[in-house]
Structure 1
Amino acid sequence: MQIAVTTPTGNVGHHLVPMLLRAGTRPRVLVRDPDRLPPGIRPHVEVAVADQFDTAQVVAATRGVDALYWVDPPVAGEDPLADHARATAAVVAAVEANAIGRVVFQSSVGAELRHGAGEIDGLAGTELGLDATAAAVTHLRCGFFFSNLLLELDAIRAGRVQVVLPLDHPMAWVAPRDIAEVAATRLLNPDWSGRVVQAVHGPEDLTWSGAAAVVSAATGVRLTVERVADEELREAMRSAGMSEAFADAVLGMSTGLREGFRPEQPRTAQTTTPTTLGAWSYETLRPLLAR
């Protein structure tokens, strides 16, 4: 079984690749810069250099692949949804040209809306593109990554994080390692077919107020969360150099899931994963805040 993994140094990928190695496989990893791979990993993987926005490169890099873990690459252009569309075109072409049998796609809670959820709309487009191929496809509808807090290190050190969601709004929070574990089981198991939506919800739904209390207890940093107006956060992002389209896409991931949204997949034993925010914060966040 030849498994290919995109973004192998990403939040999920850097957990997934070692899991596949421990399972006895030699995964193919698609990277733009092989030097970013950990030295201990590189001898045990097959390296394919490819830009995920480049259709020809992705097709070439996935020849002979039986199963593919696809993550839309980070977007950095003026129009993030256009970047997602380019990535979708590349993966669809690769799946069709190489007759890849199984694809596990890292999507998000909210992609079921299809429109109105900011950058998540780009993931919805990739879901639709993959669904139109002949491959068996699993969409991992992931909750809010614990690792998103790493983007707020300065704010956490200062003791205040700003959000646009109501502070009592519950949502699924999940550890990237747990997403990798779900992905690995899907990639290694050939006994599924068709279109599957697998939610990955973490151990419990958390409000921002509850999450702040957990982080405070785990790190020793007294953290409060403040709700701000949409326009205030948009202006802050624009002042930081984001394009208007990019700021709208980032903001939309919160505002689009704010009014009456409920995930398509309810929380069940199948969607619930074990790592708590407290354990992750103590292991990962606390040492970074101490620097």
Structure 2
Amino acid sequence: MIVITAPTGQIGRQVVDNVLDSGEAIRVIARDPSRLSPRVRERAEVVQGSHDDIEVVAKALEGADTVFWLVPPDPRAESVQSHVLNFVRPLCEAINRQGVKRVIGVSSLGRGIAKNAGQISAIFAMDDLVESTGVDYRSLCMPGFMDNMLWQVEPIKRHGAFFYPISGDLRLPTCATRDIAAVAANLLLDRSWSGQENVPVLGPENLSHNDMAQILSEVLERPIRFQQISGEDYKATLVQHGMSDAWAQGLIDMAAAVDRGFYLAEPRTPQSSTPTGFRQWCEEVLKPAVLA
């Protein structure tokens, strides 16, 4: 039995799609099952509820041997660390009580290096807590997602620009959520691995935000520029749009840590380089969103 959390989210939805026809027994935890596709509701067993609820998690993990675990964001959370750990403690309790064999978790690059990195530091605490149970664990270690650019669709449409508090010239890895989901699905279906390891997912190339602006200009056939803004201005915009002060500050701290270059500490290998390039992703995902 494979259990998948956050099956209606950006990554979890694609993980489910990748394993649904595998012949494996699939169970998902969904707060709102009506958001699942008819295909998923027909094929997978659905446990309704949130995976920060120990009773929901205990029910979902009964008889399960492999779990995909993703902590969903909560932009209104009053504490980043508490939010993340509230989703991890039920998993660890269920692992100890119910004998789950393998867990695949969504983490970040920079473990052991990044300090005071907001949401990234909290997710490293998740990794540590899961590993403390002794369960076989694969921590998927990613840089920023290409898909996060979808949050910039309106500025791109209205101003021909996108904004972030990071240097425009710093070349960093970036990956597509489709590739994260593919790596996760392969691990869910592979019964041969054991132990605890990090699995980097780096995309095919390192790009700066200025490089991305050039690619966007070519794909959209109009000038697009990147503008670095201060952390204070970025935080003020986030809070203005309803984000809690704690969550916004975490994102600012995360951006500052990324700007210090810790994503570059992981050497690129053929195994960690995933296939979807930024230009391809822009053609297939961002451009339709901008033109919609």
- Deviation track 1:60-118 (CA, whole Å, cap 9, x = no partner) reads 21111110000012223222221101111121112212110000001112343364111
TM-score in terms of structure 2 length? 0.94
- Please report how far the alpha carbon of residue 257 of structure 1 lies from its aligned counterpart in structure 2 after TM superposition: 1.9
SS class of match (1:112): coil
Match of residue 51 from structure 1: 50
Specify the alignment match of 1:261 in structure 2: 262
CA distance in structure 2 between the aligned counterparts of 1:249 and 1:262, rounded to whole angstroms: 17
Question: Between Structure 1 and Structure 2, how many residues are aligned?
Answer: 290
The answer on 1:231 being equivalent to 2:232 is: yes
Distance 1:15 1:58, change over 3 A: same
- Give aligned-pair identity as a percent: 30
The answer on whether the counterparts of 2:26 and 2:44 sit within 8 Å (CA) in structure 1 is yes
- Give the SS at the match of 2:106: strand
Q: What corresponds to 1:113 in structure 2?
A: 113
Q: Which amino acid aligns with 2:277?
A: T
Unaligned stretches of 5+ residues in structure 1: none
1:16 match: 15
Q: CA shift at 1:263, angstroms?
A: 4.3
Structure 1, residues 181-221: CA drift from partner, whole Å, max 9, x if none? 11111111111111110000011111001111122222334
Alpha-carbon distance change, 42 to 220 in structure 1, aligned in 2, over 3 angstroms? farther
- What pairs up with 1:241-280 in 2 under 5 angstroms? 241-280=242-281
What's 2:100 paired with?
A: 100
Contact 1:109 1:199 in 2 (8 A): yes
Partner of 1:81: 81
Q: Tell me the residue number matched to 1:122.
A: 122
Counterpart code for 1:101:
K
Distance (Å, rounded) in 2 between the aligned partners of 1:247 and 1:282: 30
| 1-structure distance, mates of 2:110, 2:287 | 30
Paired residue type of 1:72 = V
**Secondary structure, counterpart of 1:108 in structure 2:** coil
Query: Is 1:142 aligned with 2:142?
Result: yes
* Moved >6 Å (runs of 4+): none
**1:7 corresponds to which letter in structure 2?**
A
Alpha-carbon distance in structure 1 between the residues aligned to 2:5 and 2:144: 20
Deviation of residue 124 (structure 1)? 0.5
CA distance in 1, matches of 2:13, 2:168: 31
| Contact kept in structure 2, 1:107 and 1:141, CA below 8 Å | yes
Which stretch of structure 1 is more off in the superposition, 198-207 or 107-116?
Answer: 107-116
Structure 1 residues 82 and 224, CA gap change in structure 2 (3 angstroms): same
Give yes or no for the alignment of 1:197 onto 2:198. Answer: yes
1: CA distance, partners of 2:279 / 2:41:
32
Amino acid at match of 1:34: P
Partner of 1:4: 3
Q: CA deviation at 1:259?
A: 1.9
Aligned Cα root-mean-square deviation (Å):
1.5
Task: State the alpha-carbon separation in 2 of the partners of residues 10 and 66 from structure 1.
Answer: 22
